């Protein structure tokens, strides 16, 4: 069974220095923080307001930059089908469809995000699935040549599992565009915690890295820029039999 179906039973260790004879605190994964009622609430939890900027400002500036950068690196057109893993309400899905006319399959673990996304994107070229549906479709032969995963892997319970799923959905030679926070930030009953898992290492195991950089400071704050990592990757060709 996939971890996104029984996440409430999984325990994360909060990284801290234990005191003498004091039990180490434990935190329970709480993905329900991403269950929302409105598009505005979805915006606030997926593109958070940080010191020096607001959700609205980040949404506008980051989206404009990412739209151009993704289009340039992934070379999108009307024939392209893009996997948007962790699509939320479809911030980039909508922008990519409007700009490039591509088809987008959005995937999100949040049921409410999946319900709100079609309302926000408003396009027949957009489809939204759960991770379980994606896994089933991959087993039936579904593949894409392009994928993106933005501000997602630092939050998921098992980044290795998610990276594996994205990789399995990509055709050999397919491209992945990823943006993540350098440190893990996992939602729990004790707040957001760093469980020490290495997202970059998981990506390096499965993809050839074509380019690594950070989010430019001019489209965000210096703190967010320094804490971010952008990467463009290619899925290796399968060895000839």
Concatenate the DSSP letters of all residues of 51-88 into one string: TT--HHHHHHHHHHHHHHHHHHHHT--TT-EEEEET-T
pLDDT band at 99; cut points 50, 70, 90:
very high
What is the token pair recorded at 215? Answer: 């989010």
Q: Judge whether 26 lies within some domain.
A: no
Residue 128 lies in a domain: yes
CATH of the domain at 136: 3.40.50.150
Q: Is residue 38 part of a domain?
A: no
Does residue 226 fall inside a structural domain? yes
* pLDDT of res. 44: 85
Nearest to 120 by CA among 46, 33, 215: 46
The 10s digit of each residue's pLDDT in 66-78 is 999 999 999 999 9
Residue 214: inside a domain? yes
Predicted confidence (pLDDT) per residue in 194-226, tens digit: 999 999 999 999 999 999 999 998 898 888 899
Question: For residue 240, is it within any domain?
Answer: no
pLDDT greater at residue 218 or residue 52: 218
Question: Which residues constitute the domain of residue 108?
Answer: 48-185+197-234
Which tops the pLDDT comparison, 222 or 125?
125
Residue 133, in any domain of the structure: yes
Does residue 104 have a pLDDT over 60?
A: yes
Rounded Cα–Cα distance for residues 30 and 169 (Å): 26
Q: How many distinct structural domains can be found in the chain?
A: 1
Q: What is the pTM of this model?
A: 0.88
Residue 13, in any domain of the structure:
no
Tell me which residue of 162, 175, 164 sits closest to 82, measured CA to CA. Answer: 175
């Amino acid at each position: 069974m996939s971890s996104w179906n029984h996440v409430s039973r999984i325990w994360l260790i909060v990284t801290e220095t234990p005191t003498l004879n004091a039990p180490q605190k434990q935190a329970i994964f709480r993905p329900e923080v991403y269950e929302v009622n409105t598009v505005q609430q979805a915006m606030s939890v997926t593109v958070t307001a940080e010191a020096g900027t607001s959700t609205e400002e980040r949404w506008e500036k980051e989206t404009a930059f990412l739209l151009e950068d993704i289009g340039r690196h992934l070379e999108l057109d009307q024939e392209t089908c893009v996997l948007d893993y962790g699509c939320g309400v479809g911030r980039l899905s909508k922008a990519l469809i409007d700009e490039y006319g591509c088809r987008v399959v959005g995937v999100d673990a949040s049921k409410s995000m999946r319900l709100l996304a079609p309302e926000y994107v408003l396009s027949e070229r957009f489809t939204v699935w759960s991770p379980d549906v994606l896994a089933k479709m991959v087993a039936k032969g579904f593949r894409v040549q392009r994928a993106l995963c933005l501000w997602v892997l630092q939050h998921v319970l098992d980044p290795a599992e998610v990276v594996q799923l994205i990789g399995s959905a990509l055709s050999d030679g397919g491209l992945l565009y990823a943006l993540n926070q350098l440190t893990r930030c996992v939602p729990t009953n004790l707040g957001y915690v760093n469980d020490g898992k290495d997202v970059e290492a998981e990506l390096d195991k499965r993809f050839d890295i074509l380019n690594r950089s950070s989010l430019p400071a001019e489209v965000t704050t210096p703190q967010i820029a320094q804490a971010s990592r952008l990467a463009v990757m290619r899925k290796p060709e399968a060895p000839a039999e």
